[in-house]
A and B are shown apart, each in its own frame.
Chain A
Amino acid sequence: MTTATERSIRKLKARAAAEGLLDVAYTSTDSPFGPLLLARTERGLVRVGLPNQDADELLADLAARVSPRVLEAPAELDEARRELDLYFAGKLDRFDLPLDWRLSGGFRRRVLRAIARIPYGQTRSYTEMARKAGNERAVRAAGTACGSNPIPLVVPCHRVLRTGGALGGYGGGLPMKEALLELEGVLDGRSGV
């Protein structure tokens, strides 16, 4: 690609943002676990893609469910990237990012909102989350809500465990869940709590 084309694309994106045409801005950022995909709308962070998730599929999904006006625009994600970097460095224990919840609805959204309030370094059970979302018996649905969390890490579904302390599942793979809990000082490095 020539410099003139790159320059034109940069100007195009600035103009698109100024005109309110940048419905979904995304970037890729490094993490200790591999590259993360970050996507936001004008409302806030809408999607975090974990390293084991296919970025192209996530972008196609955003195009279908939010808007096809999906453009790579790293500067729009500066704050999210900064907070995540600090979090992985163990220097941030609370995200302060506006979130766009539109990719989850109903009971799932209530579960995820409850998860968003679990403090750093603490864990809860799927049962507690089901209760907080208004239906104590819907434990399996609460688990599904965790599994479908569109904004992992920032909405810390890794802090939800099985009753009794078993790890349960994680969209980014169990080793990642374990490592995140270690980072937060919940696990001492041994497997399985």
Chain B
Amino acid sequence: MTALPPFQTVLDEHSAAVMGILRGAVGRDGAEDCFQETFLAALRAYPKLTNASNLRGWLLTIAHRKAIDHHRARGRIPVPVAEVREVAVEDGVPQHDPGLWAAVGALPPKQRAAVALRYGSDLPHDEIAAALGCSPEAARRSLHEGLKRLRKELA
């Protein structure tokens, strides 16, 4: 087991990345609140964390959940991009239809995280892999499976 570093180190090393991702996910205005929520949640859970080898991925996963909470609370949905948009358009479902993100929310955890990190937070595959603590291939596979399932659900 890797010893947990002082939380200040975690904050110093990852605050820029977390803020950057949250800005992308919820915009400049929401990002500051989500940032605080992310690090407060992290700080609460920190002493019980058993694996310190992927702190960045752990934080990004929390950040992504906080971004989703933020959108739910506001009744707004991040503007989906690329493939997800195609699915929505194919089905004649408006992009902001909560049904789409409800379907995302119903995916198994890995797939849900991969889809949200890709289309909610606009992360490339290697960053998603880091966030999920898996290989880029596995991240790609989760994303692919998630999208396949969404297409089927929303068809």
Footprint of B on A, CB under 8 Å? 1-2, 4-5, 7-9, 11-12, 15-16, 19, 21, 24, 26, 59-60, 62-64, 67-72
Choose one: A12, A15, A26, A68; the contact of B47 (CB below 8 Å). A68
CA distance A100 to B3 in the complex (A): 23
Decide if B119 is an interface residue (CB 8 Å cutoff). no
Q: B40–A16 contact, CB under 8 A?
A: yes
Tell me which residues across on chain B come within 8 A of A21, comparing CB atoms. 40, 43-44
> How many residues from B make CB contacts under 8 Å with A?
22
Tell me which residues across on chain A come within 8 A of B47, comparing CB atoms. 67-69
Name 9 extra pairs, CB < 8 A, besides A16-B43, A63-B4: A5-B15, A5-B19, A5-B35, A21-B43, A24-B6, A26-B8, A60-B5, A70-B8, A71-B8
What would 21 A/B residue contacts be, using CB atoms closer than 8 Å? A2-B19, A4-B31, A4-B32, A5-B15, A5-B16, A7-B32, A8-B19, A8-B36, A11-B32, A12-B35, A15-B40, A21-B40, A21-B44, A24-B6, A60-B3, A60-B6, A63-B4, A63-B7, A68-B6, A68-B7, A68-B46
Q: A12–B39 contact, CB under 8 A?
A: yes
Chain B interface helix/strand/loop/mixed: helix
Decide if B11 is an interface residue (CB 8 Å cutoff). yes
Q: A69–B15 contact, CB under 8 A?
A: no
Tell me which residues across on chain A come within 8 A of B6, comparing CB atoms. 24, 59-60, 62-63, 68, 70-71
Tell me which residues across on chain B come within 8 A of A24, comparing CB atoms. 6
Footprint of A on B, CB under 8 Å? 3-9, 11, 15-16, 19, 28, 31-32, 35-36, 39-40, 43-44, 46-47
Tell me which residues across on chain A come within 8 A of B43, comparing CB atoms. 16, 21, 69
Report, nearest first, the 8 A-B pairs whose CB atoms are least far apart. Answer: A70-B6, A68-B4, A63-B6, A8-B35, A59-B6, A8-B32, A12-B36, A5-B19
CA distance A19 to B9 in the complex (A): 20
Tell me which residues across on chain A come within 8 A of B44, comparing CB atoms. 19, 21
Closest to B48 in A: A68
Closest to A14 in B: B36
CA distance A9 to B16 in the complex (A): 11
CA distance A151 to B28 in the complex (A): 44
CA distance A8 to B18 in the complex (A): 12
Q: A1–B11 contact, CB under 8 A?
A: no
